[in-house]
Amino acid sequence: MRVIKKIHGDKPSYWVGNGFRIQTLMNHLIENPDFNYSHTDPFLLLDYGVPTTFIPNPHYDSAPHGIGQHPHRGFEAVTVAYAGEICHADSTGASGIIREGDVQWMTAGRGITHEEFHSPAFGKRGGVFSMAQMWINLPQTHKLTEAKYQSLKRAHMPNIELYADNNKQNPIGSATIIAGHYQGISGTAATFTPINLWDIALHTAGTTTLDVPNHHNVMILVQEGELLINDELVNAGNLVQFKAPVDVLNKTSLIEEAAEISLSIDTDSITLTYPTRSDSAENIPTVKLLLLSGEPIGESIAAHGPFVMTTQEELKQAFHDYRNDNFG
């Protein structure tokens, strides 16, 4: 079983633009010996969009809530919509709206500028808005790949039933495979390195066991509700950090681990338990989780603001290119 190292969730919320109230649960720029990039590689950042109720915006068309154009280079930005609608447009010419359950997967690569706002329809009616956004690193060989945008609709993503461990006929939830693989099923998103992104919902009391690659860094965001993860109670807005593969296998570095791990023992287990409740059946809430796992890239990073490169020279070049209109 993959051991839980720490549960993170005591971060204050703040506003990005005027449309996104978030908690940054993971950040590659923070120096923390117990939770830094070596423990989250290839994931750089995770912002949890705290469920927030917006009143109707009378200026939804001319002044939508959100954030205007800003640049990125060297990584991918992935946004999962849980409630509300996000309208995206970028310098590749891509644009679109993602709704509840949809995902936008933006590869910044050699350079992109984009903007994100509440959709006109959501701005007009108002309501609850919630999302999660993560930054995923690109290996040095793909830092300057062409920018692109994947709009992933929930209806086109494969969905797998999750059964109770003590009754394989009793489904207690499901996992939507956004990226990666589970039980022989492949997700919709195209990725540059091995990554799993599973959107999980539990709706019935019971325990189910997930198998995750034992050479991946693994985290789980509890987006809504509460449950037991490996018998530890976790509430909404918390990020569960599991021990890195280097700790599990007593290796001296993640790079060694990635190169030497035996493929014959390829998975670790994580148990999810939806606790028995006294509520009536119609009031039992769904628990929503986002599982992130990824094979460590094992390269250094040089980052500042919206750019994440491998060396300081590459980082300086990113700023030079942006200032001189040689960007994307």
Residues forming the annotated binding site for Fe cation?
Answer: 70, 72, 114, 116
Report d(CA 27, CA 35) in Å as an integer. 9
Question: Which of 292, 293, 288 minimizes the C-alpha distance to 51?
Answer: 288
Whether residue 258 contacts residue 319, with contact meaning beta carbons closer than 8 Å, is answered with: no
The CA distances from residue 147 to 70, 138, 155, in Å, are 14, 12, 25
| Number of CB atoms found within 10 A of residue 69's CB | 11
Query: Could you tell me how many residues make up the chain?
Result: 328
Question: Which of 116, 37, 127, 124 minimizes the C-alpha distance to 79?
Answer: 116
Expressed in percent and rounded to 5, the helix, strand and coil fractions of the chain are 15, 50, 35
Question: What residues are designated binding site?
Answer: 70, 72, 114, 116
β-pair partners for 80: 103, 132
Radius of gyration, CA atoms only, the chain: 20
Look up residue 130 and give its amino acid: S
Six-digit token pair at 81? 């919509």
β-pair partners for 99: none
Six-digit token pair at 131? 């999302």
Whether residue 191 contacts residue 179, with contact meaning beta carbons closer than 8 Å, is answered with: yes
CA 167 to chain centre: 30
Q: Would you say the C-alpha torsion 23, 24, 30, 33 has a positive or negative sign?
A: positive
Which residues, 6+ apart, have CB-to-CB distance to 271 below 8 Å? Answer: 1, 165, 207, 208, 209, 210, 228, 229, 230, 231
